[in-house]
């Protein structure tokens, strides 16, 4: 047996090539890293959708292109909403980290963040419904299919983020700012800022580069 | 912040996991922002968003120059968000989150560059003969 050949080491003990003792894992210690891994995999979903848009984004099927369809002032307003919401979420986190933080103050900043997020979603839905009314729905051309898929997936993420945010507002109202709730708020913080990073890609590649032609 | 992380890696595998728990301010070992950091990040983002929008909407510069500036500003803004909002450092979580980020960036670059490259050549080389002829006569 190979194990027996190892027994004749200098101090007479068999060498160990793995750790024998169980690690002590404090609750939630690896949550942030795990959530970051999730965000990175989410990043790959968006990378694929961006690649789709890059490939199909010029196939207008004889229909209208970005220059005719997109309204940049509306997109700029949308970008501002998301950027403001990122800042106010930052304020919520700063309020939470202060010693003796009041639940009400954190809830207040979260609600402001949620309202900016809601405004973003409403503007996006308004834009989508306008496009569909003009006959430029996702079925019109490969360009519009990939556009609706990419921007829609981002919008879906914001929607889920909003549901999560409302849940946490209620949650901290009921159970206060305990360790578990702080951890949840930090996860949502990463998720929310991550969505803003994705939006930078969307407004640059889809809207600005699209209108530029 | 960095002292804690160094401490973690110096400890090796024996206590590495425990140290996450009493990291920076007593929870989860993740770095935190400051008011100054968020405001700097916000101001930089506003500038880096306003310039590309203004350039495209007014059309002051020619197409290629505008495209280069717009893409460069987006890349810078992604880094600004990563640093000031997501508090990304090379040492957070013992460097694992940065490693994951690097890996993701590599996969994204391969995906995007590969898709665009392959599909561009597919379009150029596999066009139906009639259309290709019509285009060559133009």
Is residue A16 very low, low, confident or very high in pLDDT (cuts 50, 70, 90)?
Answer: confident
Residues of B in contact with A55 (CB under 8 A): 115-116, 119
DSSP annotation of A24? P
Which segments in chain B show pLDDT lower than 50? Answer: 1-29
Enumerate the H helices of chain B as residue ranges.
Answer: 2-11, 16-21, 35-58, 63-80, 96-125, 129-137
Q: Establish if B138 belongs to a structural domain.
A: no
Residue B130: φ, ψ to 5°: -60, -45
Higher pLDDT, B39 or A27: B39
Per-residue pLDDT for A203 more than 70?
Answer: yes
Are the beta carbons of A75 and A209 closer than 8 angstroms?
Answer: no
pLDDT at A39: 96
Q: How many independent structural domains does chain B possess?
A: 1
Closest CA to B69 of B85, B53, B84: B53
Residue A10, pLDDT score: 58
Q: What residues of chain B lie within 8 A of the CB of A205, using their CB?
A: 74
pLDDT in tens, A59-102: 898 888 899 999 999 999 999 999 999 999 999 999 999 888 89
Closest CA to A208 of B80, B47, B73: B73
Q: Is residue B32 part of a domain?
A: yes
Predicted pLDDT of residue A15: 77
- Domain holding B120, by residue range, is 28-127
Residue among B53, B100, B111 minimizing CB distance to A36: B100
Residue B59 lies in a domain: yes
Residue with tokens 């990291």: B23
Question: Does any domain span residue B75?
Answer: yes
pLDDT for the residue A99: 87
Min Cα–Cα distance to chain A from B81, Å: 7
Question: Does the residue B137 lie in any domain?
Answer: no
| Interchain contact, A86 vs B52, CB within 8 Å | no
Q: What pLDDT, on a 0 to 100 scale, did the predictor assign at position B23?
A: 37
Determine whether the interchain pair A212/B27 forms a contact, defined as Cβ–Cβ distance below 8 Å: no
B52: which 2 tokens?
A: 């590309």
How far does the CA of residue A134 sit from the closest CA of chain B (Å)? Answer: 22
Q: Is residue B80 part of a domain?
A: yes
For residue A124, the SS3 value is helix
d(CA B91, CA B95): 4
Report yes or no on B41 lying in a domain: yes
**Structural domain contains residue B133:** no
Per the prediction, chain A carries an average pLDDT of 90
Candidates B54, B15, B77, B136; CA nearest to A208 is: B54
Chain B nearest C-alpha distance from A157 (Å): 17
Return the higher-pLDDT residue of A9 and A207.
Answer: A207
């Amino acid at each position: 047996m190979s194990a027996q050949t190892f027994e004749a080491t200098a101090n007479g003990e068999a060498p160990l090539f793995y750790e024998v003792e169980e690690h002590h894992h404090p609750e939630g210690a690896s949550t942030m890293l795990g959530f970051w891994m999730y965000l990175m995999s989410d990043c790959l979903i968006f990378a694929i959708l961006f690649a789709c848009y890059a490939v199909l984004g010029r196939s207008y099927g004889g229909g209208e292109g970005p220059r005719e369809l997109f309204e940049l002032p509306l997109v700029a307003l949308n970008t501002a909403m998301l950027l403001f919401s990122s800042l106010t979420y930052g304020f919520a986190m700063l309020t939470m980290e202060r010693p003796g933080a009041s639940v009400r103050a954190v809830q207040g900043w979260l609600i402001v963040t949620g309202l900016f997020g809601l405004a973003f979603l409403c503007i996006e839905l308004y834009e989508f419904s306008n496009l569909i009314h003009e006959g430029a729905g996702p079925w019109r051309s490969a360009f519009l299919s990939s556009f609706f898929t990419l921007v829609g997936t981002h919008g879906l993420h914001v929607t889920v983020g909003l549901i999560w945010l409302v849940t946490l507002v209620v949650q901290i109202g009921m159970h206060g700012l305990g360790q578990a709730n702080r951890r949840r708020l930090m996860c949502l913080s990463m998720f929310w800022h991550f969505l803003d990073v994705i939006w930078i890609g969307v407004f640059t590649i889809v809207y600005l580069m699209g209108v530029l032609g | 912040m960095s002292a804690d992380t160094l401490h973690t890696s110096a400890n090796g595998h024996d206590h590495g996991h425990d140290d996450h728990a009493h990291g920076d301010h007593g929870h989860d070992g993740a770095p935190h922002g400051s008011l100054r950091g968020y405001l700097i990040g916000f101001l930089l983002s506003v500038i880096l968003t306003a310039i590309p929008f203004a350039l495209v909407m007014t059309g002051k510069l020619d197409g290629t120059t505008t495209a280069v500036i717009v893409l460069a500003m987006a890349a810078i803004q992604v880094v600004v968000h990563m640093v000031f909002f997501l508090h990304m450092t090379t040492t957070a979580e013992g460097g694992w989150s940065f490693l994951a980020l690097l890996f993701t960036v590599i996969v994204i670059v391969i995906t995007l560059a590969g898709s665009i490259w392959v599909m561009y050549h597919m379009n150029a080389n596999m066009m139906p003969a009639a259309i290709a002829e019509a285009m060559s006569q133009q």
